[in-house]
């Protein structure tokens, strides 16, 4: 129990300093067979790392699905990660990364695991294109020296799961409650930020169904720059920030500036601190919810269930309106 608490404390300190830990692994040679590139995934997503166990392949299973494994009584789907990004493992699929992500558990087969590195989010840059294609959300500079730094491609797990194991349960948004009557001021917009393409698409669909005007951003820094711009306009016009921004909806993991830092930036400025901030993340769990409270976030909701997101947004808006 002491070790568990120590781990929680260490991760709390990381989020407080805009840092995170990235697990580095290899998937084999690139499509041209020339080199083995580094890939990464946030340690927060990893439940455990195990040697590749026997995989049961059900009838009709097609690549990149490998089949199912039984890990301590839990049946988990296994995804061939090299096949997803177009790599060819030279020594086979030797390691299984068991992840808990977006309300689900799944395992990714990889060739090898290198190390865990501790980085600042400023070392992670947005990547719309790379050799990993649509499944790479950002590029991590592993060293501070920009000229000599090793690079790792950070995978967009949300996009991978959406493509491989699609579900329509999150797409049924036509019956969502509308924003009228929840204290939103005419002309105010929601500021949303998420670096995952599929997450942005789902959020946009949800906000439109709720009839909430919004502006979408790919990084926390982009969102922060927009918030500062709107704050400057509000001050110049002698208006409260609520006339410009209805609320902020932000992911936690984002290049350049993470959601914790974005939230802290908002809450430490007197002019901005009353903007409701909702953390919308696939990194579920009580530890993350505690982190959200520690930086002043108004609510936390795990990705992605449209009705739960709507209820959280309207609950926060109603509470803010009652205080006004």
* Angle between helices 197-209 and 306-323 in degrees, nearest 10: 60
The last residue of one of the domains, among 144, 162, 180, is 162
Q: Which pLDDT value is given to residue 5?
A: 41
Express each pLDDT in 5-39 by its tens digit.
Answer: 454 455 555 655 677 889 999 999 876 666 678 99
Contact residues for 121 (Cβ-Cβ < 8 A; gap 6+): 18, 19, 20, 220, 254, 255, 256, 257, 258, 261
pLDDT: which is higher, 176 or 114: 114
Residues 143 and 230 in one domain: no
Q: Which of 125-134, 262-271, 272-281 has the lowest mean pLDDT?
A: 125-134
Q: How are beta strands 65-71 and 74-80 bridged, if at all?
A: antiparallel
Residues 25 and 48 in one domain: yes
Token pair listed for 177 = 């409650």
Residues 153 and 196 in one domain: no
Express each pLDDT in 67-95 by its tens digit.
Answer: 999 998 899 999 999 999 889 998 999 99
Express each pLDDT in 284-322 by its tens digit.
Answer: 555 556 667 777 889 998 888 888 999 999 999 999 888
The number of distinct structural domains making up the chain is 2
Residues 138 and 176 in one domain: no
CB–CB of 97/24 below 8 Å? no
> For residues 145 and 62, what is the distance between their CA atoms, to the nearest angstrom?
43
Largest CA distance in the chain: 66
Residues 149 and 281 in one domain: no
Q: What integer best gives the mean pLDDT of the chain?
A: 85
Express each pLDDT in 206-254 by its tens digit.
Answer: 999 999 999 999 999 999 999 999 999 999 999 999 999 999 999 988 8
Q: Which pLDDT value is given to residue 288?
A: 59
Q: Which pLDDT value is given to residue 42?
A: 87
pTM of the predicted protein model: 0.82
Residues 86 and 200 in one domain: no
Token pair listed for 15 = 């989020």
The strand pairing partners of 324, in sequence order, are: none
pLDDT: which is higher, 249 or 168: 249
The residue segments making up the domain with residue 55 are: 19-162
The last residue of one of the domains, among 142, 162, 182, is 162
Q: Which pLDDT value is given to residue 3?
A: 47
CATH (domain of 309)? 3.40.50.2300
> For residues 219 and 223, what is the distance between their CA atoms, to the nearest angstrom?
6
Residue 12 domain flag: no
Residues 236 and 194 in one domain: yes
Residues 81 and 148 in one domain: yes
Closest CA to 100 of 45, 149, 59, 176: 45
The percent of the chain in helix, strand and coil, each rounded to the nearest 5, is: 35, 30, 35
pLDDT at 195 over 70: yes
Q: Band of the pLDDT at 130, cuts 50, 70, 90? A: very low
């Amino acid at each position: 129990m002491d070790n568990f608490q120590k781990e929680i404390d260490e991760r709390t300190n990381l989020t407080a300093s805009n840092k995170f830990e990235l697990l580095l692994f290899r998937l084999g040679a690139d499509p041209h067979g020339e080199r083995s590139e580094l890939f990464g995934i946030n340690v927060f997503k990893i439940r455990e790392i195990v040697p590749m166990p026997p995989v049961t392949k059900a009838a009709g299973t097609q690549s990149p699905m490998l089949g199912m494994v039984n890990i301590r009584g839990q049946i988990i789907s296994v995804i061939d990660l090299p096949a997803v990004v177009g790599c060819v493992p030279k020594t086979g699929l030797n390691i299984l990364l068991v992840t808990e992500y977006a309300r689900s558990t799944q395992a990714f087969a990889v060739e090898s695991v290198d190390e865990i590195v501790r980085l600042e989010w400023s070392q992670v840059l947005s990547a719309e294109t790379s050799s990993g294609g649509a499944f790479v959300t950002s590029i991590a500079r592993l060293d501070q020296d920009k000229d000599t730094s090793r690079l790792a491609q950070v995978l967009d797990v949300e996009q991978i799961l959406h493509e491989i194991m699609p579900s329509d349960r999150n797409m049924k948004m036509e019956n969502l409650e509308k924003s009228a009557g929840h204290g939103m001021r005419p002309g105010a917009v929601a500021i949303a930020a998420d670096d995952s393409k599929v997450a942005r698409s789902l959020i946009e669909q949800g906000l439109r169904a709720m009839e909430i005007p919004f502006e979408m951003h790919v990084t926390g820094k982009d969102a922060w720059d927009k918030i500062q711009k709107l704050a400057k306009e509000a001050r110049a016009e002698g208006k409260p920030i609520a006339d410009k921004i209805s609320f902020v909806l932000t992911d936690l993991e984002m290049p350049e500036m993470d959601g914790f830092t974005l939230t802290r930036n908002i809450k430490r400025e007197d002019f901005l601190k009353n903007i409701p901030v909702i953390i919308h993340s696939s990194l579920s769990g009580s530890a993350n919810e505690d982190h959200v409270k520690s930086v002043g976030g108004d609510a936390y909701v795990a990705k992605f269930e449209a009705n739960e997101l709507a209820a959280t947004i309207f609950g926060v808006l109603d509470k803010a309106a009652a205080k006004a």
